[in-house]
Structure 1
């Protein structure tokens, strides 16, 4: 028994010694400062854009509990920083405090009052400075907001100092450049819409793409001017352009409102930098009259057709009323069936007793409706060219989309011969010569792809089930 007691006491003494050693190491470890940065790194002197202050921040790892984090901002004459504890703006100095960042539902906040319980803590939200009582999680980041950087123009390294509960010190610097920016941004823009189309129609999707550069304080915002945008896209138009971090381009997409009269409209794009300098560019968009009907010539015998949009009266009896039609069929997964309705995206075999012209009446476009994809089964299927924007043609591979990629197995020409078996794009069986974007014979050049055309139908053979999404 005595031996066991001795062993237990030895273990306890060892654990105490290890604890003291850990505590000693914690006291000796200095805070480690990482990811110190200014956002943005270059700013215009004076006041910053509303709600978008200069942020000086740093992440602190290790070093125990942090007592203070400060920045030497004595060189920023006339600057102001935000103090969330007093909810006031203060003048910075040699020991300007940085405040620990907490996260509340993904948004940044600062602790301003510790409650008796953790759930009673009170915070101020970053940027908006709204006071809230919420559950928050602490981060390793510390920062300070500067809505005004003063009138000094220079480039230097801001010293950051962190001190832990044991008085150990960690330091780093943040590069900062303050400029006097008087030059506006440079902006070019284009409207991207229907392929091969010089104009747009009601229901068309239009994307505005802009290249914007600013050599000094940087681009702050880019937006469509409200008046012109609402005339084209309606009162709920999306005005703000967003930047793609991969390409650096700014873009916004909208749909032409259903009641926009035909004509040419002016669309202004405004870009501003952080200094408040603005540039404007103008685009002209022509809205064409909507197409309400489509004429499709039919010859005696078999024809392969499709319709681009839903019809006002899609029943086969209504579509072919009074015409010398003998059969209207479609094919799904190799099975030929009698068609009862005519729908966009599907191809139809129409057997005529004599030549005639079919006129179909198209329903008005509904931008709020999402068309159902067509299910295509393994084997031969008949497809058509659906286009709510009434584009006259579209590259075949683009139209078939990613869902059908690599699912087609055998593709044949009108004579039944296998067509380009090693091609990267399927060449389907068309009722006449298969056109290309340029009108020249097909080549693997991406600028000369085969296209599908309005009013025509096509055969395609699939190895597995797929969806035609349009």
Structure 2
């Protein structure tokens, strides 16, 4: 009995060793490399399509995606392995790709992992889209029969907004400012890292001042005010003139609550805009103030209707005092 058990163990061990030596065959699959990608608006990213299968010659791919989010601008077939190739991109959001190895050039059928080709994908608008191997995508053997065991692994492309920069110039003394971009890091230590000793920043919240002061000995900002926010205005008192380089993404459409009385507001765009276009629903007698070495103002008159005064537009990087006679939501 002992000898039989030993013999059984030896046989099992031998079989296992043989399996490990040969390797376990991978499941037939078609996939993207990388499976998930990220691209910014106006830029491109390359995504490869791969097949890993046993006993195949070629195939056809019906790849679909959201054409309002991305655009596939190019396809490069891997002609070294698949001499026969075809690409049809006529229909928005759909790519037809055919590929096959040639008998005269390649040992048929193929087994293993092969790159079919490379897609070039352009980001069009923020969001996400699936790269989906849709109906009628197939892999064929060398007799033209479909290999039905193939697993099709979809992917995804995330489109991020384009990075923009803005130079916020600060003069020696008082500056009424705002942040025109959505920043990834809004801490004062990051945004105003070039501050001078004793520089001060003031925000106006719920009828009270919130402040911070820069101390070079720390170094850094210290006070109740720790971060800057979109849609808010700030007083910055600089001891030395310098330029703040801001890097971020477009803030998009804004919805700002304006309360009755005084509001210290910001302007979250990178281009100037006319007051009549920006704030058409003001109340009669509302006032807007800007400061640039002196005060510049405008008043809203419903009889015109429109804004009248020396201040005719809002500019990126500027902060404003808005005195409202009635609360409203400012959408722009």
TM exceeds 0.5? no
Give the number of the structure with larger relative contact order, counting CA–CA contacts within 8 Å between residues 6 or more apart.
2
Q: Which has the higher strand share?
A: 2
TM-score (norm 1): 0.31
